């Protein structure tokens, strides 16, 4: 699998349509995981906006696209311990953008079944971020009810990507389906 910066999940029987539609935006690659594609796009913000426009012109696109999630930080890992260490390092990059905000971490894991628990990762990274905010003498809190931000963690095999989404972006791009 090549490098990627977008994870796409497609709806049942939508695989071919999704591939044909998405190929104009960047390189697409199948994965070993059911209905999951990865993409490499040059500029994720331009990709998101172009995708938003396409969907506004043809809402039927959502009949085959389930979730489309660009990521900002990407890393590879070989073990659960390496994943945990690198995910923590990357999560801490966003502490300053969480000051005074209600947030939570949401993980979508593909691979490492039984070795990495999405729920455990979410809980642990929530705690890491809260602790970092406290160290900086700032506030922030975990909330699942109308959060100001969501830190998305996507894994596909031994590669992970992370991105922070604020409320405005999640509303602007509802096809993200971060939660």
Q: Is residue 93 part of a domain?
A: yes
Task: Round to whole Å and give the CA distance between 69 and 54.
Answer: 16
Domain ranges, residue 148: 73-166
> Based on the domain organization, do 54 and 110 belong to the same domain?
no
Residues 66-87 pLDDT 10s:
999 999 999 999 999 999 999 9
31-52 burial code (b ≥16 CB/10 A, e <16): bebebbbbbebeebeebbeebe
10 Å Cβ neighbour count for 96?
A: 11
Task: Round to whole Å and give the CA distance between 132 and 176.
Answer: 27
> Based on the domain organization, do 62 and 120 belong to the same domain?
no
pTM of the model: 0.94
61-71 burial code (b ≥16 CB/10 A, e <16): beebbbbbbbb
Share of the chain above pLDDT 70, in %: 99
The helix/strand/coil state of 170 is: helix
pLDDT of residue 1: 58
Q: What's the number of domains the chain is made of?
A: 2
Q: Which of 31, 48, 70 is the last residue of a domain?
A: 70
Residues 126-163 pLDDT 10s:
999 999 999 988 889 999 999 999 999 999 999 999 99
Asked whether 64 and 10 are in contact (CB, 8 A), the reply is yes
10 Å Cβ neighbour count for 154?
A: 26
Q: Is residue 176 part of a domain?
A: no
Q: Are strands 6-10 and 65-70 parallel, antiparallel or unpaired?
A: antiparallel
Asked whether 173 and 64 are in contact (CB, 8 A), the reply is no
Q: Is residue 172 part of a domain?
A: no
What is the rounded average pLDDT for all residues in the chain? 95
Q: Which of 70, 101, 118 is the last residue of a domain?
A: 70
Task: Round to whole Å and give the CA distance between 132 and 139.
Answer: 10
Q: Which of 70, 98, 124 is the last residue of a domain?
A: 70
> Based on the domain organization, do 92 and 54 belong to the same domain?
no
Q: Is residue 174 part of a domain?
A: no
> Based on the domain organization, do 143 and 79 belong to the same domain?
yes
> Based on the domain organization, do 90 and 154 belong to the same domain?
yes
> Based on the domain organization, do 112 and 57 belong to the same domain?
no
């Amino acid at each position: 699998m090549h490098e990627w910066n977008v994870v796409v999940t497609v709806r049942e029987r939508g695989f071919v349509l999704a591939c044909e539609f998405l190929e104009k935006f960047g390189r697409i690659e199948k994965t070993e995981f059911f209905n999951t594609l990865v993409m490499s796009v040059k500029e994720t913000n331009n990709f998101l906006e172009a995708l938003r426009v396409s969907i506004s012109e043809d809402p039927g696109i959502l009949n085959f696209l389930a979730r489309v999630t660009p990521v900002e930080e990407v890393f590879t890992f070989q073990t659960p311990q390496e994943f945990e260490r690198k995910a923590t390092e990357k999560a801490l990059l966003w502490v300053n953008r969480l000051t005074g905000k209600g947030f939570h971490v949401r993980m979508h894991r593909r691979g490492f079944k039984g070795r990495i628990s999405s729920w455990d990762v979410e809980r642990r990274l929530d705690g890491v971020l809260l602790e970092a905010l406290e160290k900086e003498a700032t506030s922030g809190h975990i909330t699942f009810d109308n959060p100001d931000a969501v830190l998305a963690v996507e894994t596909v095999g031994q590669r992970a990507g992370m991105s922070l989404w604020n409320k405005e972006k999640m509303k602007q791009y509802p096809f993200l389906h971060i939660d």
